[in-house]
Amino acid sequence: MNRSSNSPAPRAGRRTKRLLTALAVLAPLVAVTAVQSTAQAEDAPRAKEDTSPFTGLPAEPAPVMAVKVDNVKAARPHTALEEADIVFVEKVEGGLSRLIGVYASQQPEQIGPVRSAREYNVEQLRMFDRPALAYSGAQKGVDDLIQKSPIYGLSNDNFPEAYFRDESREAPHNLFVHPDKILAGAPEASKSSDIGFRFGDEAPEGGEPMEERTVKYPAAETTFNWSKEEDRWLASFDGEPAMSTDGEQLGGKTIVVQEADMPPSDFQDPTNTTPYIETVDKGVATVLRDGKAYKTTWERTSAEGDTTYTLPNGERMPFDRGQVWVVYEERK
């Protein structure tokens, strides 16, 4: 792996091995179908052709596209995040937050504002097999890593025809992408398939009643408030409602607060520490659904593997059907 001259030496051990695995030639994956009763999420059958494995709602399998989305104040409101199947909230340098929208069930006309990728996105997004990734660019070493991986890395630098600037917004927070053009440049992008989520119409027993949950980074806050009227969790960024350009407040039916280690990346910003979010690991995750919080254990054993969320009784945590948010919280 090529590294910039001012990057620190690579860390030995499991992460180096995982990165090598992420760059290996894509191997065929074998789907395993569960055959037990659908009464328990642990034994729920794998997604049928007419059900999204990302939301549990009706949807045909479709190519997967991930979009890196800006999340500073000048980048808001966001366009078409409400149409994503999954939204990831991630810590970046300076303690700010950035988002990834993952799309398969719907294909909006445009999405944004788009920003740059990070080293850990390669390992993180391999859970979707070979998705398309739309991003504004990256450090040379990171971009090399993306281009050598099985992911379709289509940035504003190497695929500019898919992007445009909204002159009514301030640069650099005004770059938007046309999903249809990105997918045209990723003709063999993997279709939506099981990544470990399980869905159920009924919440499990127990859970702690909760009306609000906040995840804090040094320079950013993400808060979710339970809305009984809308039957979903409403999102806020830095104390303000997270809004779409269509006037809808963003939020999801299921929120996952996933505790993860965030050591320094091998590719550093010149002025601020860039974290590497460890998504292949095991730890605690709090799952919010139906106005309650459920403690689970999350686990992902390889870059190509699923991420599972297991209740203390050993059963898989059933998510509510609809958009899922995954917020990475630094493990203490």
**Predicted confidence (pLDDT) per residue in 96-140, tens digit:** 999 999 999 999 999 999 999 999 999 999 999 999 999 999 999
Mean pLDDT throughout 33-61? 65
Question: Smallest Cα–Cα separation from 197: which of 287, 103, 105, 70?
Answer: 287
Torsion on CA atoms 321, 257, 40, 36, rounded to nearest 10: 90
Mean pLDDT throughout 254-280? 94
pLDDT by residue (tens digit) across 210-226? 999 999 999 999 999 99
What integer best gives the mean pLDDT of the chain?
A: 89
pLDDT by residue (tens digit) across 149-175? 999 999 999 999 999 999 999 999 999
pLDDT at 37 over 80: no
Confidence of residue 15 (pLDDT cuts 50, 70, 90): low
pLDDT (0 to 100) of residue 162 = 98
pLDDT (0 to 100) of residue 270 = 80
Name the architecture of domain 59-330: 3-Layer(bba) Sandwich (3.50)
pLDDT (0 to 100) of residue 49 = 54
**Rounded Cα–Cα distance for residues 67 and 63 (Å):** 13
Other beta carbons within 10 angstroms of residue 118's beta carbon come to: 27
pLDDT (0 to 100) of residue 12 = 39
Q: What percent of the chain has pLDDT over 70?
A: 85
Q: Are 239 and 59 contacting, i.e. CB atoms less than 8 angstroms apart?
A: no
pLDDT (0 to 100) of residue 50 = 86
Mean pLDDT throughout 11-26? 45
Mean pLDDT throughout 202-212? 97
* SS3 category, 144: helix
More confident residue, 9 or 244: 244
Task: List the chain domain ranges.
Answer: 59-330
**H, E, C per residue of 175-229:** EEECHHHHHHCCCCCCECCCCCCEECCCCCCCCEECCEEEEEECCEEEEEEEECC
pLDDT at 43 over 50: no
Q: Are 132 and 186 contacting, i.e. CB atoms less than 8 angstroms apart?
A: yes
pLDDT at 6 over 70: no
Q: Are 293 and 307 contacting, i.e. CB atoms less than 8 angstroms apart?
A: no
Confidence of residue 18 (pLDDT cuts 50, 70, 90): low
Mean pLDDT throughout 81-98? 97
pLDDT at 262 over 50: yes
Q: Are 73 and 119 contacting, i.e. CB atoms less than 8 angstroms apart?
A: no
pLDDT at 25 over 70: no
pLDDT (0 to 100) of residue 272 = 84
Q: Are 133 and 154 contacting, i.e. CB atoms less than 8 angstroms apart?
A: yes
More confident residue, 33 or 15: 15
pLDDT at 235 over 80: yes
pLDDT (0 to 100) of residue 5 = 35
Question: Smallest Cα–Cα separation from 31: which of 200, 198, 196, 199?
Answer: 196
| DSSP H or E segment with residue 122 | helix 120-125
Question: What does the block give as tokens for 197?
Answer: 């989520």
Residue 146 phi/psi, 5-degree rounding, is -65, -45
